[in-house]
Chains A and B, each alone.
Chain A
């Protein structure tokens, strides 16, 4: 990290103050919703023009026309409680995250994903499912209304942020693919393109690519489980998992696999990348749970970003990342210490 200091200093100098989002704009929306609720009005009516948008996303590769027009017609977050959360500024969402295929530092994905070109994109569908084969992304998405979902993302590294995703429930895609009745799990695989993804060429990494994740079928069919194709009113930037990624808000961030290239329906629990890399530290379920520590750090609290240097403080982590009312029933009777 230290070696990059000089390069970063140069970008500090070229960065203008106007490049940085004025924080006031994302607070304003919150107060609009609060006053709407206070007046007893339906916030949905007021939200019609209130989709979170970033001015420009220089990192985003121009999406195809079908996606651009669908994103333009996206519905803003419909859930009043979620809509009232303070979202992280776009610069933070697109400038600070983990995507090891582009490097292990949290600034690497933005800095090193420029060679990746997601378009055109298809997803290969395999296993216990009727519609096997190669599906262009358009054929999976374009019949559905794109909606905004404002979700908390809790990283296993004990930081969190609130992000306005755009996409469709994963359930809609699963239903049109018609899985067989014995498909109990879904296995997801990220794209493998070492020539465009420097992390996949690394000699010192202990991760085997392509990245693999999985969900139990009832988790995958849950209404909160989301397939994102955009963020902040635009197509996903490369560093956030372009062109299509999973968002599972009650699980640690690494479950939300990026740049999905393959989906397999199976009756066996898939072996996931982090489980294979370190089974003692990362399990299949990876539900956010303040009572079960990571062996090397506590999960009882988290830093909500961006907090600033002086504002950096910890807040308690909530069971299932605060989505317990919706998802706790999925795990009834399970020992969550054993199935972590």
Chain B
């Protein structure tokens, strides 16, 4: 039952966007506004970011006793869903902003650093998504833990990707920053405390 609820929630943003696209195209509504390509692109990116941050938040919130440990097993599907939203986000960027032209992509990557930062984050996320299964955990053993620590790097890359696109309003960025600072800070604090205790 829990499982059904989680999967339903993970799929609902794409279902809503799909419904909006369908209705605007075939029923001449304006649900997605004047610039639906940009709206869908932004919404996919934001959905990916929010899901990603949820995977980062589950462990520290559980350690503080704020959420149940039953949530731990959902980190994997949430993380994989986050990757698919990020991939769709990149796909639309290639379609609407780059037009699948290699030279246009080259100049975007060189001239607009937030694009390169996003691309690096997506590559890391694809490695994480590919190894998000029990077989990979067994095969990679110790290296799996190491590889999956790059989630912390992805969180920082996302913050930069977002910050470099702000024109003047830092309120949404401030929320993301606080969440990442909490999720990484809690881990760093535990790490430092443990190393002191061991000495």
Contacts and interface: CB of A to CB of B under 8 A. Distances in A.
A91 B169 contact: no
A106 B111 contact: no
Interface stretch (B19-27, B65-73, B134-142, B145-153): B19-27
B43 interface: yes
Interface in A5-21: 5, 8-9, 12, 15, 17, 20
Contact of B112 (A296, A303, A313): A296
B179 to A, nearest CB: 13
Given A204-B169, A296-B112, A309 B36 contact: yes
A293 B20 CA distance: 33
B28 A106 contact: no
A325 B50 CA distance: 49
A204 B112 contact: no
Please tell me the size bucket of the interface on B.
35 or more
A20 to B, nearest CB: 6
Given A5-B16, A204-B174, A161 B34 contact: yes
Interface in A188-217: 202-207
B169 A202 contact: yes
A298 B106 CA distance: 13
A300 B46 CA distance: 27
Interface stretch (A36-44, A92-100, A239-247, A327-335): A92-100
B37 A312 contact: yes
Contacts of A15: 29-31
A104 B50 contact: no
A322 B12 CA distance: 43
Contacts of A104: 167-169
A324 interface: no
Contacts of A91: 30
Contacts of A5: 13, 16, 43
Interface in A125-174: 159, 161
Given A88-B34, A202-B169, A312-B36, 19 more contacts: A1-B43, A5-B13, A20-B29, A95-B33, A95-B34, A96-B35, A159-B38, A204-B170, A204-B174, A205-B168, A205-B171, A277-B168, A278-B167, A296-B112, A296-B165, A303-B37, A309-B40, A312-B35, A314-B96
Interface of A: 1-2, 5, 8-9, 12, 15, 17, 20, 23, 88, 91-92, 95-96, 100, 104, 106-107, 159, 161, 202-207, 277-278, 293, 296-298, 303, 305-310, 312-314
16 contacts: A2-B50, A17-B27, A23-B28, A96-B35, A100-B168, A104-B168, A106-B34, A159-B38, A203-B171, A205-B168, A296-B164, A298-B111, A306-B35, A307-B35, A309-B32, A312-B36
